[in-house]
Amino acid sequence: MLKKVIKSVFGLSVVAALGFSLAGCGGGAGNPSGAGDSAPTGQITVITREDGSGTRGAFVEVVDVTVGDNDGITTEAVVQPGTGPMLTAVSTDPLAIGYASTGRALSDDRVKVLSIDGIAPTVENMLNGTYAIQRPFIIGYGTSAGLSALAQDFVDFIFSAEGQEVVAREGYVPFRPEGAPQYTSSGLTGSIVVNGSSSVYPLMGHLREAYLELNPNVSIDVHGAGTGHGISAVRDGIADIAMSSRDLRESELEFMTPLTIGIDGVAVIVHPSNPIEDLTLEQVRNIFLGGIERWENAR
Amino acid sequence: MGKRSLAFNKELAAKILFALSASAAIIAVGLICVFLFVQGLPAIWNIGVINFLTGTVWQPTWNPPLYGILPMIVGSLYVMAGAILFGVPIGIFAAVFMAKFCPRPIYKVLKLAINLLAGIPSVVYGYFGMVILVPFVRENFGGNGNSILTASILLGMMILPTIISISESAIRAISSEIYEGAVALGASHERATFRVVLPAAKSGVMASIILGIGRAVGETMAVRMVAGNQAILRMPHEFLSGARTLTANVVLELGDAYGDHRAALIATGVVLFVFIMLINALFSMLKKKDGV
């Protein structure tokens, strides 16, 4: 009797241990088993970015997801740190809704980008202001320290015709759509450190590449550690240029000079299997406040 | 004379080198301690020890901000308990099997699998959890899948290698005379293993569990990816809802935080540090008992 019990327990635990290790090996290639054609009925999985994120700050402000003057995103919302985890989380949950930089969301076919009040987040709609959820992409440098000659040259490049073309090509709205001066390589050498918003990070990476093609003897380190992190890095003199995906606060403007390099929309995203194409700004607001809890009530 | 002093110098140099190497770990721990407490304690003091430890609302961007970490302390305890629930029984039975019942060819495969399990980086566990476990829990148990249960299952998997390998060596370390004595008295192989050898290896097995708990409490990346991270004080029956652990709280917001918010996160690290210290103290207490 004891023998039998022991044998079956062993069988189970060995199978479990083996199964775990095998599953661990093959896990990466697996399909999200939640991806089906099921219509969205059920509890909405609200997914948000972490407190302090620039994208969250901009989203809360523009959509007015506030209680009093404070961030009112429902505390029941799942929190994902960073644009990448946000996109992955939404892409694996058929009932999810989240938000991310339009530049990143539109180029990721694992998620579906919704229109807001019938208006899609295209470059034209952001330029003419009809797509409501948009925010500036800002770079900043220490006011007292100023920019090094090389950093100044990189900034000049960003605002040149060549740099602004990169901004437009990546799906963002350039700060200077027309009439930007041509850039000519200065032949400077040295290195620059750029740190900040994970939303601005991909764009800065493309700007860096384009700049390095013209200035092969320069090295530029770009880190996307978060808006707050980038700002404190510039304050502490660790980075030359900070990236921010929201307007700077009073306290930050005391030591930093901001420059707007472009405008980015914040896209509201759902799982591709979700039949919904369009929500009103008010519906988005209520979903993130926790007022609308089920997809049936969102339509 | 010259030769001798050269040898003496060599000896001295070697002594210094070894002493320095040995103290590197102590210096590292000391520096971390100083950093954490210098940066974290003032924040705890400013917020108020009671407000900080028993506050149930965490809203660092509010005006005025609220820094209560009780939800995170409780969240850490839940996933720790969950990990024990899933990891410990499987781990101990697997260890007993490997030490006492396993045919040689199977042992080789098992050992390999367990070493592999130990070597998988936690971000890979996290990704696996996100794309496999979260949908699995959502479809079979309900909720949105980002939950205490999911984090517990994932952590249970992650602490298996620790529990299995340390328990196995603890069981193997029990001298065969104890086992043979039991068999000589008429016990079957199973009875001798479970009633005599396993109890004799008790403290080693306990040590493996405590080390596993240490890993579970300290785990950050994987938990953060599947636990939902809501800073809400949950009741035990809400195990299908998400929770935020102490580690997740620090790593979620540290990148964007500055000023008081940042200090409050480092203070969270202090609480976590004390947590881990308590677990380690428990571990060395058990080891001491074992040594006597």
- Each residue's pLDDT tens digit, A75-107: 999 999 888 889 999 999 999 999 998 888 988
Same domain, B159 and B268: yes
Q: pLDDT, tens digit, for every residue of B228-268?
A: 999 999 998 899 999 999 999 998 888 777 778 889 999 99
CB of A4 within 8 Å of a chain B CB? The answer is no
Name the band, by pLDDT with cuts 50, 70 and 90, for residue B287: confident
Count H helices and E strands in chain B, helices first.
14, 2
- SS3 at position B283: helix
Given this model, what pLDDT does residue A115 score?
A: 94
Examine the domain organization and report whether B196 and B279 are in the same domain. yes
Q: Is the pLDDT of residue A111 over 60?
A: yes
CA–CA min distance A48, chain B (Å): 10
Q: Are residues B112 and B220 in the same domain?
A: yes
Cβ within 8 Å of A, B 1-40:
none
pLDDT computed for residue A124 by the predictor: 83
- Banded pLDDT at B8 (limits 50, 70, 90): confident
User: Among A174-183, B89-98, B198-207, B276-285, which range has the highest average pLDDT?
Assistant: B89-98
Q: What is the mean pLDDT of chain B?
A: 90
User: What average pLDDT does the structure give for chain A?
Assistant: 84
A–B interface: beta-carbon pairs under 8 A: 165
Q: Is B160 on the interface with A (CB under 8 A)?
A: yes
Q: Which of B144, B232, B251 best tests the A interface by mutation, with the highest count of A CBs <10 A?
A: B144
Q: For A233-258, what is the mean pLDDT?
A: 91
Phi and psi at B120, nearest 5°, equal -70, 125
**β-sheet bridge partners, residue A113:** A269
Helix/strand/coil for A112: strand
Residue A48's pLDDT is 95
Does A34 have pLDDT greater than 50? no
Q: In 10 A of CB B108, how many CB atoms?
A: 11
- What confidence score (pLDDT) does residue B17 get? 93
Residue B4: pLDDT band (50, 70, 90) is: low
Q: Which domain holds residue B275?
A: 66-291
Cα gap B178→A1, rounded to integer Å: 24
| Contact across the interface for B144 and A43, Cβ inside 8 Å | yes
Fold of A40-134+266-298: D-Maltodextrin-Binding Protein; domain 2 (3.40.190)
Give the pLDDT of residue B50.
Answer: 93
Is residue B262 situated within a structural domain?
Answer: yes
In a domain, B56, yes or no: no
Give phi and psi for A183, each to the nearest 5.
-100, 135
pLDDT of residue B292: 42
A274-291 confidence digits (pLDDT tens) = 999 999 999 999 999 999
Domain count, chain B: 2
The sign of the CA dihedral B259, B261, B264, B269 is: negative
Q: For residue B6, how many other CB atoms are within 10 A of its CB?
A: 10
Q: Do A40-134+266-298 and A136-264 have matching folds?
A: no
Q: Are residues B109 and B7 in the same domain?
A: no
Give the per-residue pLDDT at A26: 38
| pLDDT bucket at A28, cuts 50 / 70 / 90 | very low
Residue A22: the pLDDT is 46
Convert the pLDDT of each residue in B132-175 to its tens digit. Answer: 999 999 999 988 899 999 999 999 999 999 999 999 999 999 98
Instruction: Say whether both B25 and B102 belong to one domain.
Output: no
Angle separating helix axes B70-96 and B148-173, nearest 10 degrees = 40
- Contacts of residue A21 in chain B, CB cutoff 8 Å? 113-114, 116-117
The answer, for B251 touching chain A at a CB cutoff of 8 Å, is yes
Position B120 scores a pLDDT of 93
Res B161: pLDDT: 95
Question: Checking DSSP bridges between strand A70-71 and strand A66-67, what pairing results, if any?
Answer: antiparallel
Range with the poorest average pLDDT among A151-155, A184-188, B2-6: B2-6
Task: Give me the interface pTM, i.e. the ipTM.
Answer: 0.81
If you write DSSP's letter for every residue of A197-250 in order, what string do you get? -TTTHHHHHHHHHHHHHH-TTEEEEEE-S-HHHHHHHHHTTS-SEEEESSPPPH
Q: A94 CA to chain B: closest CA distance, Å?
A: 9
Looking at residue A49, what is its pLDDT? 94
What residue ranges do the domains of chain A occupy? Answer: 40-134+266-298, 136-264
Q: Which of B61, B145, B164 minimises the CB distance to A52? A: B61
CB neighbours (10 Å) of residue B146? Answer: 32
Question: Is B144–A93 a contact, with Cβ atoms under 8 angstroms apart?
Answer: yes
**Is B58 a member of any domain?**
no
Whether residue B196 sits in one domain with residue B234 = yes
d(CA A220, CA B6): 50
Smallest CA–CA separation between A77 and chain B, in Å? 7
Cβ–Cβ of A32/B188 closer than 8 Å?
A: no
> Residue B66: closest CA among chain A residues belongs to which residue?
A70
Tabulate helix, strand, coil % of chain B (nearest 5): 80, 0, 20
Q: What's residue A7's pLDDT?
A: 59
| Residue A224 pLDDT exceeds 90 | no
Mean pLDDT throughout A95-124? 91
Are B23 and B160 contained in the same domain? no
Assigned domain for B173 exists: yes
**List of chain B residues whose C-beta atoms are within 8 Å of the C-beta of residue A2:** 188, 190-191, 194
Contact B258, A196 (CB under 8 A): no
Return the pLDDT at B262.
87
Q: Which CATH class is domain A136-264?
A: alpha beta
Has residue B237 been placed in a domain? yes
Contacts of B266 in chain A (CB under 8 A): none
pLDDT value at position A173?
85
Instruction: Answer for the pair A231, A242: CB distance below 8 angstroms, yes or no.
Output: yes
Q: How confident is the model at residue A13, as a pLDDT? A: 57
- What is the per-residue pLDDT for A35? 38
SS3 state of residue A42: coil
Are B33 and B81 found together in one domain? no
Mutate to test the interface with B, among A13, A46, A74, A238 (most CBs of B within 10 A): A13
